[in-house]
Structure 1
Amino acid sequence: TASRVFFSSLEHVAKTHPKPISTVLIPGILGYVHVSSVHSDLFGRLIGSLRSLPNNLLLSLQNVPASPGLEGKARVEARSVILQGILTKPNKFNLDSTSTRVLLQWLLTAIQSHPKSIKVSNVVLRLVERHRDISNNFKTDIAKIANAIKVGFMKKTILNKLSKLSK
């Protein structure tokens, strides 16, 4: 309940002052060690209430614990929901190669630890669907992640979309 009150007040602030929320608070929460599935839902709504996100937002991934294998499935999936929310935002991200490598490394470790997680697989799918520039430049890395997925239809869909991207 306290979390809900906190997040709804943040949503209100985000509508009037989006910059501090998106540049300071979101990276902070994304790197928060005790992120839970409850937070991820509320967090998803907060991201949705922002009109735009700064290009460097995914740099905050460097705050995310680098070894999803050491975290429980619930926490990894909670972070996945947050990442999916960020990757689904309509504006384009100018992800530099460092941020992209961090994101892909995190996804690979997450999917190796939890190969049947549809939530982690969804993040990979969003990446391929919405970020062609990344998908083309890091095709082999994404294919490696997709091959580690143990959810048949997700694996097939991602590899299929990846193969249809321009060579």
Structure 2
Amino acid sequence: MRRRVLIAAACLALASCERAAAPSHQAGGGEAFRHALSEDVSGEYRPLTPVQIDGLALESVFIGQPSALEAWEQGRGGSAPVVVSLRTREGVIRVGPEAYQVTDEAIRFRGLGGRGVTVALTGRLDQGTLATARRNLGDQTPVIQGALSIGGQSAPVRLTLWGGD
């Protein structure tokens, strides 16, 4: 009997650890999800030159509207407001956030890609270049410059605002 009680207690302890480790924004973002914006930085950003790490190519970085960021941070659901898209031989993987910070000057993102690989992006955001890119669709100047890390390997990135085809 005592052995069964110990086994049951161990199983409950393991189950609670698994639930605590699972990323969830439903209880509110706390410090994991934050934005502080005085300007609109929403849009899709694409690399100026190819960025490839371990067979994964950076396709784009999406940053949603401030209202989407706020809804996510308050646990109201909806689509992920910051998404990193990676191209593989099989197609595109969209990586949602485990954590992000978006400000007028910077973006920090961390999420889990396929096979549990950590995907991280850090970058400096240039508001002047962003304003120019919004005025001149197709402008090929870097708006975000930083680094992409996938599973511990990293590469520099230079992203421009994508205006569509």
Pick the TM interval, shorter chain: under 0.3
Higher strand share: 2
Between structures 1 and 2, the one with greater helix share: 1
Under a length normalisation based on structure 2, what TM-score does the superposition of the two structures give? 0.24
Tell which structure's C-alpha radius of gyration is larger.
Answer: 2
TM-score when scaled to structure 1? 0.24
